[in-house]
Structure 1
Amino acid sequence: MDNIEDVDTLGEKLYNVLHPKYTDMTPKLTGMLLELPASVVNEMLQDEALLNKATERALNALTSSDSEGVSQTDDGASVSSDSLGEQLYDLIDLLNTGNTQKITGMLLEQKKDAVLRLLSNQTLLEEQVKIALKTLKEQGEEVTDVSDSSEPEEVENIGEALFSVVQQLDPAHCADITGMLLEMDSGTLQQILANRTMLEVAVKKAKSALESAASQRPLEMSK
């Protein structure tokens, strides 16, 4: 009975487990959870804590965007990077590593095909997550994960990490841009540090804000 069962069987089991708690929403929740790899669904049916966590995420997604369908896995070739990132984040978060943001960012640096393989193969995903965790430990990155950045030394650590990455993108304005980005809340900063695309967008926005602020002071500059 250790073998992963087919989708219909898994769907029935999921439905029966969810129905007592979420009567009206059971069909939708079952459908959403069945979009996860079969091995993950199988694991959730044996681990109540894992199932509860995944169900909460599905519920949040349903309440925040009821009108949007969640079937993003049908056309792998056209799936956007953002959508891939969200799906990957959800799967990694279920593994309770404590470093979901950073690991997601690291794995998203692979080619799209490789990321799609991770989404459909739980064993492969777990292996990659272990490797990423090992890399983070070796680099001493775990300590700088921002869980409570109200501590001054935490802010300093984030600032240093942010500065070194921003410096690669815009050496001329890296100090100003880092300062601007550090005004964001810790959750957003964590996402930015873990996701190269988000970081580049944030840097561009900060740079254009700097430029527009400079252009609004032409009189001061000319005096």
Structure 2
Amino acid sequence: MDQAEDLETLGEKLYALIYPKHAENAGKLTGMLLELPGPVLSQMLRDKATLNAAVEKALRALQLAQEPSKVTCKDEDDVSVSSDSLGEQLFELVNVYNTGHSQKITGMLLEQHKEAVLNLLSDPTLLEEQVNFALKTLKEQNMEEMDISDLSDADDTERLGEKIFSLVEELDPLHANDITGMLLEMDPAALQQLLSDHTVLEVAVQKAQAALDTHNQTLST
């Protein structure tokens, strides 16, 4: 109940601010803005610039939604224009939701059949559902990509470590562990060079040995 009352109060305040400039569409514009998250609405009431920007977006979206004639096409040349126009109209509507991913979400929605996209332009409720679903999908994809990249990085480092250790062990079996650990602090590109050029590897091992000797001498003094 409190939440509904809060929304009603917000709606009344927004309507009062929007009405003087946009009397004809004040109700529709207020309804569109009330779909946005609570913190964004509060910001609008505090900051006129934020409110004006959001109202402009909603107004453009409303105008585009009311102009289906732009979408009709007669020949092949018009098909691409129509697709661009659809994309622009859809982007304007998606952008009202301030998701931070308007471009990606618009691209995802445009992969549907033309009729489905036209439905989105004329049905705000359906559009909101699909925007929320697309946003959820994007977040899940980002989480998966992060997990996969973390795993692959760890796996690559482990494989590199094993290869370098086997080569270092031939040159200095006694300090192979320490030297390999030191070498693994190098850039991946440099490590690849160690694997492909034995001379470079020998030089790197000698440097590591010298560093180890210096370290051991410091400890003993």
TM-score by shorter chain over 0.5: no
TM-score (norm 2): 0.38
Structure with more contact order per residue of length (Cα contacts < 8 Å, sep ≥ 6): 1
More helix by percentage:
2
Q: Please, what TM-score do these two structures have when normalized by structure 1?
A: 0.38
